[in-house]
Amino acid sequence: MQGQLRFTTEKRVYPPDDVPLLTAAVRLPRWDGTGGERLDRFYTAYEKAFFAYCQRVLLPQAQAALEAARHSGGALPAWHIDLDTTVTMERAGLISLYTDTTERCGGRRLLLRRSETWDLADGCLLPLGDLFPGMPLPRRKLIRAAADQIRLQQEQGVALYHPDWQRRLRSDFSSDRFYLTEQGLCLYYQMFSIAPAAEGIPVFSIPWDPDAGPRLLS
């Protein structure tokens, strides 16, 4: 695969010719070169699905909020949704990134993250299990490593988690929620899942060497 990563942006206002109720902005990656057809198709479909969600789900909610505000004399709604991309690693034949969708609607804020790691050799997505060749996915060790970090954060008083975070850590674990950085393999949990909303997206980094792979505690 020859080329480089670039980004496309687009902003839409709904409805386009009336009182603006919803503003949607997107920034997603594309591959500028050869061999990136799968990556381009993936994020083209992602962008299409994002704007379809805005049109089909969020806009009717914003319109209902507008009618309620008109009847009550309250402030008119101004809803915003942004989809942005962060590249966390681009080296050794891999591109790892995550996208955050942030909804600011009716006084509430919702953050949703998804991530992809691309193997540039064949242009395909890299599953978490491929980082542990010759062995089953070490799910228990990954969860244990995250639990150790939570306990340390609690001892230091730097983060707050739900009282039943240990159960949630196991039940809400997903092998799809990871990305790579130069320092570590990052596992994350969605907003609300194991911690209050104020904690955002909890992320746990496991030491990782692009040449040697993750180093898990025994």
Locate CATH 3.90.640.20 in the chain.
Answer: 128-214
Q: The whole model's pTM is what?
A: 0.91
Which CATH code of 3.40.50.1860, 3.90.640.20, 3.40.1160.10, 3.10.20.30 fits the domain covering 128-214? 3.90.640.20
| CB-based burial, 47-60: b 16+ in 10 Å, e otherwise | beebbeebeeebbe
Q: How far, rounded to the nearest angstrom, does the alpha carbon of residue 40 sit from its chain's CA centroid?
A: 18
Q: Is 24:12 a contact under the CB 8 Å cutoff?
A: yes
> Which runs of E-coded beta strand occur in 78-191?
79-91, 94-105, 108-119, 124-125, 178-180, 184-188
**Mean pLDDT over each residue of the chain, to the nearest integer:** 90
Q: Looking at the DSSP assignment, which residues form a beta bridge with residue 111?
A: 102
2-125 has which fold?
Heat Shock Protein 90 (3.30.565)
Per-residue confidence (pLDDT) for residue 173, from 0 to 100: 98
User: The tokens 């309250």 sit on which residue?
Assistant: 74
Q: How far apart are CA 9 and CA 7, in angstroms?
A: 7
Q: Is residue 34 scored above 80 in pLDDT? A: no
Tokens of 106: 């009716």
Task: List, for residues 160-218, the tens digit of each pLDDT value.
Answer: 999 999 999 999 999 999 999 988 899 999 999 999 999 999 999 998 766 665 554 33
Residue 204 has φ and ψ, to the nearest 5°, of -125, 125
Mean pLDDT value of segment 14-41: 87
pLDDT of 89 reads 93
